[in-house]
Structure formats: structure tokens, C-alpha cells
Structure 1
């Protein structure tokens, strides 16, 4: 028996050692690898087969899926009480399990506190989530018939973003100990007090083993005795100003830049922007443009904020449903306005599912979403610059949108965006967008369109 155990141990060690010699096994997973993992999980392929194709160890695939899976909650159509996760909820006849109400005749299964108060509570579990594949990808059971409240889904793009964030966070901070920092401070701070520049200090003291930029960063972060005020010229420079309407948190652009967007090679996507009123009103128009159908949408916002944009997304998702919303707004390209500074909130649906992917244009490059800018030119024919949106209603905005979408386009072969969208999207989407056709001779793209309705 001891010999058999020794052989099994040697075999396991040999397998672990051999995995180091697999080509590419020491490389990090890329976005393409994660997309392959997601597609394979949807097809029900095992971790072992996925690992063979990617030249990885099966444990690598297992850790990737289990560590970066996303929690999805889906309550609609599953059971009566959305807060009840007990496996006995269908046949349980208990009442007043909490003993808080003397004459309570309501079944505990329909009470939100049932799971916290009942002694016989047993959470319903799924074997797919407790062992491989650890996610709902590839499950044959329709989601509206699954009674498991908490579901897990592996999304390649979300997993890659989490990986990039973890990778950047692991490299943040100072790459030195407190003792090393103290020794370098003894050299740097006295020389700065003598009026020497950081470049002069780095040149004369190569033992510091750092760049001039790193030294400026150390002084600016306040970890050295010297401060910015001790530098001769830095105090004369004013801090760089960022436009108030631009996003200040640069971390949101990770894997969401225009270069990342162009790598997708999309021919059909949605462009998003805002149109502002004059200074007398804070109301704003949130606009969308479907590049293939040339369809234009606009929604009136009382304030140009992140929450107002999120509310429009949620309202559209409730009208259309999560699946249809994801199909129409899967990829969205927008500018770097502060109202779009919370992409995670826009990408996450009302049920926790990822409903969209947000990407940003380069700074001062509005031409990268030129289709929407041209639509704004047509919009300004009806609402010229300087017009106040204070007395504008969503009904007025819908009227403008309907007239714009009923205008024939040369790029569509003389057809209107409304007709093309009706053919591509169907009546359900058109109804959710609240669009109506306008007779050709009744189309009006002048300020009189709104003035006559007042």
C-alpha cells in the first residue's frame, strides 16, 4: 500500500511539473481566451477540454471561472415571495414562525422575514454552482423556470475588466520599504533645501535608482520631508484644470477607450451624447443614434447627472425587457461627459445582468461619433442654440424625433430611418421607443414645429 501511495504522489507531482512546460502556460489569460472560455461554457464543454485548447492547466480555468464569475439575481416569474430562498417554500404551511404577531394568518412563505426567523430554513442550492462549472452558462433549464434566486454567470468582458483592475492595483504604491525610503529621504531633502533641482539630485546620486518623474511623484505624495513648496519653480505653476463637464476619474477609461472599441470591428452600434439648453434652464436632452438604421432617439432630463442617465436606461429596459435591451444597446460609444462617468451603473441592468458595454471617444474628437453629431445638426434646426428647454416636454421631444426619423436619407437609399428600424427591430422595439411615422408632406424641421404646438 505504501508503494502505491508513493507512485500516486510521484505521478501527481510529475503532472504539476509538466504543466510548467506547456507552451504559453505561464502567460496571463487574454480577452480572447476569456471569450473562448465563455463560449465553451455556453456549449457545455468541460474545463479539461478548454484547458487543452488554451494550453493551460485545468485548475487555471477552474480558478478563473470561479473567481471572476458574476452574481445575477432573477426574481421575475420564479416564485411568489422574491425574498424567500427556502427549499420548502412551495409546500410549507407554517404561520407566525416569528411569534411577533399573535393573530397572524398569513403563510410564512410569503413573508420577507421567513428565511431569517424560521428554524427549518434550508437554502435551495444548485449542483452546477457548488462544483464545476460553477456558473449557469450552458444550463439547459430556461431562466424563467429556474427557482434558484442567486445565479452565477461568467462574462468574458466583465472578467477581463476585473483582471485589469486587479493588475493595476497590485502595481500601485511605493516599491520600497520604509527603511529604504528613509535612507533616500536623508539624501534628497537636504539637497532640495539647498536649492538643487530633482534632475540635479538624480544625476549626481545614481545610487537612488529612480527617475526624475518618480522623485517628483514622491515629493507630491508627501512621503518625503520636502514638499512641493520647497521646489523653486513648481509653486509658480497653476494646477492643470479639467473641464467641469468632463470625467475626472481616469480609471473608468480602462478597457473602454476608442482604441478598444475599434478593435471590436463593429459595423452596427449605438452612439450616445447630450444636448444642453441655454443658461436659463438645466434641462438636457439625452440622445441616441443607431448607426446602421440612422435612427435617432432623445429623452428629456431635468438635470444632466449620472442618476438621470441611469434612470433613462432603467426605464427603457423595463419597457423592452433585459434581453431585447441588450440586443439593441449591446455596444454604446459616447463622449467623456461627467454624466457618463459611472459606466458600471449603466452597464448593470435592473436585475443585475450586464445589459450594455460602454466605450468612450478620445478627448476633443467628437467626429469619432459623427453620425450623432450630424443628427444634432438636424435637431438644432428645430431647437436652435440658445433655445431654453425649460418649458419643453417629452411629448414635444417625441414630436421632433418622429419628424427627424421620417426624413428620407440618401445613405439608406431614400428610405426613412423609421422604416428601416421597423424592418430591423420589429414593432415591439418601435413601440418601446414611442415612435410614430409622419406623412412625407407633413414633416417639419423648423422651430415652428414646437411653437405651433404651444
Structure 2
């Protein structure tokens, strides 16, 4: 049975086209194919007819392989063109026969003029078929042609040159006067354009004015494109920030990564307990899904599965590619679920503002562009201990270490390899690591 619901109006996929190709080779009708795919037979008919491939087969006489006349095997005409006075060669062997002969009739096949419109599934052997112009349906080629058509239909703009010129006469002079696109669209509703469209057309160079003519354009740097985000959107099902907000949690864990300079592949995996303000950091040799899983497994072995579940039951993180396999992070070394991973909305780092604030303290010791190549886990533990020994106003002047000690117990903090630092010895500058080397 088909997995599709009748009437869903979805486009044909590559799997659908492969099925169509296989069924055509078996000689199935359009009606049978449409019934399985839950489509209308005309959909299958239009698909095959519009995306079939033309194939020229070199069939004909011995001398002229491109003769498509139906009379070519029995024709005895000579000098039909009248160009050569003494010509003893049969016209059927001449390359110009089809163009000059008044009795030319192109050989046709009823199979190509009506369903199935292709040679797929033809009972006549290819070597015995005399039709020169054949058609074949190939699923991959048809899907590629469909993708190209879909892309072309969405490119360009939906305005004629005359319409674009009329809008340009209004917009460009006002931009030259220092007005913003929002101001122009608000004062001229007859333009029937959105502000976003005006910015897009300016970036495309369709108006006389350019985007550099905008008042604030030169003040902004190009927005960075995050190429390391999770590409598989299926992992966000049931794990979005809205799903997380419905839990109404008072205490949870925020997770993120801190990158080294370009000359080192090492990365810090960081955790932040929102209620206790406790900060943890673990050094990873590379920023990958496997490296994150390794840290999770190591923590579970130190703490035990039950203690790990009680501490890291709910984790909120961003959409970095290193967190792209939540199932492996949520599944413990014994096969039981040890955590629940949720993701912030794109470009909303403020949704996990606690760990971002902790990163500012981390960057006091490890400024940006600092290489982590010679950093050890002992150094990272020392930095985390100093950060956790700093009093917080949100904790009424207490340190995260003292609050976590009351909540989690001293054994848990030992498993985290944290220790309490004397208040006068807390050091949050790059000298902290230099002095301890």
C-alpha cells in the first residue's frame, strides 16, 4: 500500500518517479500507477510526457543512418532533388532525402503518440525496432529536470520592466533624499510593496539607487552565516524551545561550546546549572557529535546513571552541529534514557542567557582568539573552580560552589573535579593559567 494520503496534493518525489519507471518497464497502465501513488492518472500522464528523454537511434539504410522516411526500404527514386544531372544513387541513401523528397512521410509509432508515450516496456526488441526517434522515461533525469524547473520558477522578480521603472521613479529619488524604505512604503501605499522587497531589490541592483545609498548601510557589517548548524530538521520534533517552555521548569541545565582560535581544533563543552549558577567546562579534542557523546559517557561513569539523570534531566542548548544527534546523547551507556535535549530558536542565544553570562567570565581568563592547543583538563577545572568561587548577587552574595555543595553534595562536586577557592585567591585574568604552568 502507498504511504501517501489521497488528495494530499504533494509533488512527485524521486521514489515516486523510480516506481513509475519500474512500472512502465513492466507495461503497467497510468491508471494502475496512479492508484498505487494515490494520484490522478493525468498527473502520471503529464509527468511522463513532459519529462521523457529523446533518444536518436541510428536506424535506416546502410548508407544513410538518419533517414526517417517510412518508404526508405522500398523507395527506388533517384535524383529527386534535381541538383545533379547524372545521379545514379538512390535517394534513400542520400543525406538530403528527407528534406527534398515531396513524398517524404516520417515513420511514427502509436506507442509514442498516445499512452504510455515512451518506449519503456515495449515488447519489440530495440535492435529490431525501425523507429529512429525514440523516447525513454528515466526517473533520475526526470527528477533533475523537475528540480531545475522548480528553481527557475522561483528565480527573478514578479514585475515587468515597465512596472519596475515606475516604482524606481518613486523610490530612488526619495532614497537620495535620505528616506528609509520603511518611510517610503508608509507614505506611498500605491507602490504595493513590502519593506523587505525594497531591500531585496536594492541588493539585487534593480533600482537606480544602490544599497550603499541607504543611510545606515555602511554602519553594519555583513551578517555571519552559521554553516555549522544542524541540517536535519527532524531532530527538532518535540525538542523546540516552545516544547521546553511548556515544562515550566525552575531548574535545568544549559549547554554550549566555546571555540579556540583557528590554529587549534580543541573546543570546550560547557554546562550551566541555572538554579545553582554552577559552571562546568570539559576539553574536547574536536568539535564533533562523537566528542560530545564521549563527555556525556565519562560523566555518567563518574556519577552513575541515576545521579546523572537527576542532575542532567533537562538540557537546553543551541543548534550547533555538534549537538545534531540528540538520541545518542539522551541514551546512556546502559541503554536507558539519561537526559532530555531541547534546542533554542535560531539566532536566540538569549534564551540560554545564563551560560552566555558565564562565558563572559570564562573569556576573562581565555580571551577570544586564545589557542586551546596547550590547554589541559586540569587547567579547565582550575578556571571553573575560580568562576564557581565568585560570589553572585543573584545568590545573595553566596558562591555557586557553596550552593551546589548544599544541593548536590560534596561527592558530586568531586566527580566534577571542582574545589573551592579562597575569596582572596580568586583570579579571573589570563595570568591564572600562566602562573600555574
Q: TM-score range, shorter-chain basis?
A: 0.5 to 0.7
Where in structure 2 are there 5+ consecutive unaligned residues?
A: 17-33, 53-138, 157-223
SS at match of 2:268: strand
Verify the 8 A CA contact 2:261 2:370 in the aligned structure 1: yes
Pick from 170, 177, 191 the counterpart of residue 36 of structure 2.
Answer: 177
Q: Indicate which of 247, 251, 263 corresponds to 1:268.
A: 251
The DSSP-based 3-state class of the residue aligned with 1:251 is helix
- Give SS of 2:234's match: helix
Say which SS state the counterpart of residue 227 (structure 1) adopts.
Answer: helix
Q: State how 1:70-89 maps to structure 2 within 5 Å.
A: none
Give 1:181 shift.
Answer: 5.7
Mapped contact 2:4–2:37 kept (Cα < 8 A): no
Residue correspondence of structure 1 range 49-448 to structure 2 within 5 A: 177-178=36-37, 180=39, 183-187=42-46, 226-230=145-149, 233-234=152-153, 243-448=226-431
Cα pair distance change 1:226/1:182, threshold 3 Å: farther
Cα distance in 2, alignment partners of residues 322 and 272 from structure 1: 19
Note the alpha carbon deviations across 1:317-355, whole angstroms, 9 max, x for none.
Answer: 111110001000000000011111111111111111111
Distance 1:261 1:221 in 2: 41
State TM-score, norm by structure 1: 0.52
Number of positions where the alignment pairs a residue of Structure 1 with one of Structure 2: 259
The change in CA–CA distance for 1:224 and 1:244 in structure 2 (over 3 A counts) is closer
Question: CA separation of 1:181/1:223 partners in 2, compared to 1, >3 Å: closer, same or farther?
Answer: farther
Inter-CA distance 221–344: structure 2 relative to 1 (3 Å threshold): farther
TM-score by length of 2: 0.54
1:188 positional shift: 6.0
Does the 8 A contact of 2:51 with 2:142 survive in 1?
A: no
Residue aligned with 1:245, SS: coil
Where does the alignment leave 5 or more consecutive residues of structure 1 unmatched?
Answer: 1-165, 194-219
Q: Cα RMSD between the aligned structures?
A: 3.2
d(CA) in 1 for partners of 2:150 and 2:237? 33
Instruction: Give, in angstroms, the shift of residue 452 of structure 1.
Output: 1.6
* Deviations, residues 115-146 of structure 1 (Å, cap 9, x unaligned): xxxxxxxxxxxxxxxxxxxxxxxxxxxxxxxx
The question of whether the paired residues in 2 share the 8 Å contact of 1:189 and 1:224 is answered with no
Distance 1:232 1:260, change over 3 A: closer
